[in-house]
Amino acid sequence: MKQAPFWVDDHPRPDGLTGELPDQTDYLVVGSGYTGLSAALRLAAAGKDVTVIDAGDIAGGASSVNGGFVSRDVKAGIDSVYAAYGPQIGHEMWRATERAVELVRDYAERPGINAVTHTGGMAALGRGSKDLKRFDRHAAWFRSKFNTNWEVVDARDIHTLVGGEAFNVALFDPDGFGVHPARLAFGLTREVHREGVRLVDGCRAIGLERSSSGMRVTTQQGAIEAGEVILATNGHTTRELSKELNRLLLSIGSYIIVTEPLGREAAEAIFPGGVVAWRHKRLLNYMRRTHDDRILIGGRKSLHTGLDLNESAEDLRDALLGYWPELESAAITHVWGGNLGVPFDLTPHIGRIDGAWYALGYAGHGVALSCQLGFELAGMLLGEDPPSAFSQIHHPARSYYSGRSDWFLTPVSTVYRFLDRLNIG
């Protein structure tokens, strides 16, 4: 079993696109995942001089290693945004999540990217009458507000979505789809490079200050003057760069394993229609087929980043066999992990701090939303778009979190595991 992301093994990072840090630039984007690349693409297409820097490899964060699930909504659920901020912001944000899915599809279907792998929809999987009622309630609320086409699938038809005995109800969104995350991330990297954006890897930003020309950013490779700075650092945000920003966001770990290729017939016995799916619970699992007929399952034993990968693989394999015991003899070929950026309100944010703009906080919903928020922030800076709904809501902090120690994740993980075992939602 390799301790490396399957996606990057399957589709290696492009070479020869990076260069030196310039002394100045109109727009400096810190972080080269989907958020940073999507912002850079729009700014460069408008003729701006753009530099993207990354502390590690280009697109080496969550964007090249995630599960590749694309769907609408935010982690908190737009129903809670509605409850907190009312129908106008609720509606605007919902429409933005719809546009996010269209934007990713547009990026992913570009001929040089070709990252869409499955178009069979997205399903939340459950079991029993409690989950059925929860899905019914959810589907009814979204239908009444946005006329969504989500279907509640019961025991009679569950076999059309998923094989085995573990699940007997689902909430199905026919518009969800699956991408190959590394093809999308590296494809966008090639697109921004073609648009003339400078890409600088191994270049950690370590300080921000205002200057006569806008901002001065200190990096490991020297200082750079920028008219505007965009922080697109999400789950990799550190105190070193901005103490203020770091205390608004938790870094939470997510881990994935894939099986060896099973062959088309065996993979279709698990996911007949190519749906991407997740098990509704607090420490949830997400599962799908890959383009080469492996089964992928992701999730976490605890909310911490940097968990032991062998233990994570064991834990995820137990979950996999709990759902599909028939996979007992399938070898696990890869295990890896990555960081999610999770704000306390579980809703993404665009904001300004220490003179720099930021867009982050997607939790597990970032494939679509990171592309969208990068695009929206670029539109705001170009003066082409009105302020994004994600910039209109309060970005909450917590008195018990200064960004230094996430001690509370251990007891929270224990409570979540306990509630999941009892199926208390």
Ligand X SMILES: Cc1cc2nc3c(=O)[nH]c(=O)nc-3n(C[C@H](O)[C@H](O)[C@H](O)COP(=O)(O)OP(=O)(O)OC[C@H]3O[C@@H](n4cnc5c(N)ncnc54)[C@H](O)[C@@H]3O)c2cc1C
Rule CB under 6 A: which residues touch ligand X? 30-36, 53-56, 60-63, 65-69, 204-205, 232-236, 238, 241, 254, 256, 286, 298, 338-340, 360, 362, 364-368, 370
Instruction: For residues 197 and 59, give the distance between their C-alpha atoms in angstroms, rounded to a whole number.
Output: 14
- Between 168 and 285, name the residue whose CB sits nearer to ligand X: 285
**Shortest Cβ distance from residue 300 to ligand X (Å)?**
9
Cα–Cα distance for residue pair 73/77, rounded to 1 Å: 6
Q: Which of 45, 55, 46, 52 is nearest to 25 (CA)?
A: 52
- At residue 262, what are phi and psi to the nearest 5 degrees? -100, -10
For ligand X, the closer CB: 148 or 189: 189
CA distance 148 to 64: 30
Which CB, 158 or 342, lies closer to ligand X? 342
Looking at residue 22, the DSSP 8-state letter turns out to be P
Report the residue number, 34 or 168, with the smaller CB distance to ligand X: 34
Give the nearer residue to ligand X in terms of CB position, either 142 or 286. Answer: 286
| Distance (Å, whole) CA 47 – CA 367 | 26
Q: State the nearest-atom distance from the C-beta of 88 to ligand X, in Å.
A: 25
Min separation Cβ 144 and ligand X, Å? 25
The beta-carbon contacts of 76-79 under 8 Å, at least 24 apart in sequence, are 76/345, 76/346, 76/347, 78/142, 78/145, 79/138, 79/141, 79/142
Nearer to ligand X, 56 or 322 (CB): 56
Query: In terms of residues, how long is the chain?
Result: 425
Of 91 and 204, nearer to ligand X (C-beta) is 204
Q: Which residue in the shown chain puts its C-beta closest to ligand X?
A: 366
Q: Parallel, antiparallel, or unpaired for β 222-231 and 356-360?
A: parallel
What's the min distance (Å) between Cβ of 141 and ligand X?
21
- Helices marked H in 247-365 — which ranges? 264-270, 309-323
Nearest approach, Cβ of residue 259 and ligand X (Å): 17
Rounded to a whole number of angstroms, the minimum distance from the CB of residue 163 to ligand X is 21
Q: Minimum Å distance from CB 192 to ligand X?
A: 12
Helix H or strand E encompassing 80? helix 78-85
